[in-house]
Amino acid sequence: MPEGPDLLPRLGAFARLLHDAGLEAGPRRLTDATRALGFIDLKQQIDFRNALRSVFVSRKEDLPTFEAAFDIFWAPPDPRAAAGVMAGRSRALPMSPERAKAWANALGLSSSQMNREQEPTAVPVSSSGYSAEELLRHKDFEQMTWQETEQVRRLLEQAPWRMAERKTRRLRAARAGRIDLRRSARHAIRSSGELMRLFHRRPRIRRRPLVLICDVSGSMERYSRLLMIFSHAIARREDVEAFVFSTRLTRITRLLRYRDLDRCLESVSKGVHDFSGGTRIGDALADFNRHWARRVLGHGAVVIIVSDGWDRGDPARLTAELIHLRRSAHRLIWLNPLLGSEGYQPLTRGMAAALPHVDDFLAAHNLKALEDLGRLLAGLGTRAGSN
């Protein structure tokens, strides 16, 4: 490890590297890091690493990025390069493939080295029952021109996405409800201990959190862009979590936070490596149930899955995961863009397996369908046996 006057500028450069990789490494943390290093023995590389980690990382997801950055930045210089023997030759990165992947992801590098599962997009021809003269609202997203998409985007952004509400356990003052002993007593004390007036409070009402899980596999390709627009329109709220999947599940919540749609779409396409790949809904939901459900399904969340149900995975697995998911969600809604096409019947293996285990099965092929969804979300009652 470098010591003395050399260390501080290098630490600053390391913080910038972390910052570029998406970690929060502002001046405050840099100061903490500098102070922390004053308390440890810099010759112990493991302590040096541990100290910087506890200062710069504050999320589990950032751990692999940190480890990779540390490996790259603080790696001992290659003696051969120092001797000028191998000038210009790149050497293997001193890190495991897993870390290298995290690093590539953090920097938004291309995914050419990742194995992509390709699947011929075998989809039945769905003919929308509406002609071009009909209102934009009834036009199938699949057939929209760029300009029409833009119009829809504006409409979606204006739409007041009202969410179903739930009672929280936090109480606030109200005209009726439970007696607020604290305020009533306070008032009584002022009137010489006479309980002259009773105050009340009742549970505060909050919106339910919303979780979107969107299929962006090959068969959904024509809807992907609009789905992203839809997600963007509603995911700017704090309590929306968004995921996409084709062969694997990717969380895009943070990517959708950009206000600017184009920037957001760009970051999503960089961050998601299996756009238009094959579909394994069961596997994606299994991943969700194991790694995300406990984190994002608290407080009576509503879950929306958007998919056409063209699944190459095992239907039994899909069924099992849906049953589990439905138990942990307040409401499970499945949106299917094909449902709008005339004569469509949910006969695909995946859809047939899924249908008995969702609370609502709705279309999502045009703006009107999304508006219907909005109405459903606003008016969600409570399902028996859930909170």
Partner 1 sequence: MTAGPPTTIEDVEARLRERKYIGDRGLATSIFLALKLEKPLFIEGEAGVGKTEAAKVMADVLGARLIRLQCYEGIDLAHAVYEWNYPRQLLHIRLMGEGEDRRVAEREIFSAEFLLRRPLLDAIDNDDPNPPVLLIDEIDRSDEEFEAFLLELLSDFQVSIPEIGTIKAKRAPFVVITSNRTREVHDALKRRCLYHWIDYPDLEKEVEIVRARAPEAAAGLAREVAGLVQGLRSMDLYKVPGVAETLDWARSLAALGATRIDSSLVNATLGSALKYQEDLERVREQVPALVEKARGA
Nearer to partner 1, 23 or 333 (CB): 23
Q: How far, in whole angstroms, is CA 225 from its chain's centroid? A: 16
Q: Which stretch binds partner 1 (CB under 8 A): 3-11, 151-159, 166-174, 213-221?
A: 166-174
Nearer to partner 1, 75 or 185 (CB): 185
Binding of residue 75 to partner 1 (CB under 8 A): no
How many other C-beta atoms can be found within 10 angstroms of the C-beta atom of residue 261?
Answer: 16
Residues numbered 291 to 310 that lie near partner 1 (CB under 8 A) are 294-296, 298-299
Separation CA 376–CA 370 (nearest Å) = 10
Binding of residue 193 to partner 1 (CB under 8 A): yes
Separation CA 367–CA 164 (nearest Å) = 20
**Of 10, 13, 16, 35, the one binding partner 1 by CB under 8 A:** 35
* Residues near partner 1 (CB under 8 A), total: 42
Minimum distance between the CB of residue 256 and partner 1, rounded to whole angstroms?
14
DSSP letters for 108-159: T---TTS---------PPPPPS--TTS-GGGS-GGG--HHHHHHHHHHHHHS
- Estimate the crossing angle of helix 63-73 against helix 97-107, to 10 degrees: 100
The 3-class secondary structure across 72-87, one letter per residue, is HHCCCCCHHHHCCCCC
Nearer to partner 1, 89 or 295 (CB): 295
Binding of residue 205 to partner 1 (CB under 8 A): no
Q: Which stretch binds partner 1 (CB under 8 A): 92-100, 120-128, 154-162, 180-188?
A: 180-188
Q: How far, in whole angstroms, is CA 111 from its chain's centroid? A: 20
SS3 content of the chain, % helix, strand, coil (to 5): 50, 15, 40
**Of 21, 57, 100, 333, the one binding partner 1 by CB under 8 A:** 57
Binding of residue 36 to partner 1 (CB under 8 A): yes
Using alpha carbons, list the distances in angstroms from residue 381 to 259, 300, 378, 386: 31, 12, 9, 11
In the chain, the amino acid numbered 356 is P
Residues numbered 222 to 281 that lie near partner 1 (CB under 8 A) are none
Minimum distance between the CB of residue 50 and partner 1, rounded to whole angstroms?
4
Q: Which stretch binds partner 1 (CB under 8 A): 101-109, 117-125, 286-294, 375-383?
A: 286-294
User: Of the candidates 176, 20, 197, which has an alpha carbon nearest to the alpha carbon of residue 109?
Assistant: 20
Binding site for partner 1 (CB under 8 A): 24, 28-29, 32, 35-36, 39-40, 46-47, 50-51, 53-55, 57-60, 63, 168-171, 181-182, 185-186, 188-189, 192-193, 286, 289-290, 294-296, 298-299, 320, 324
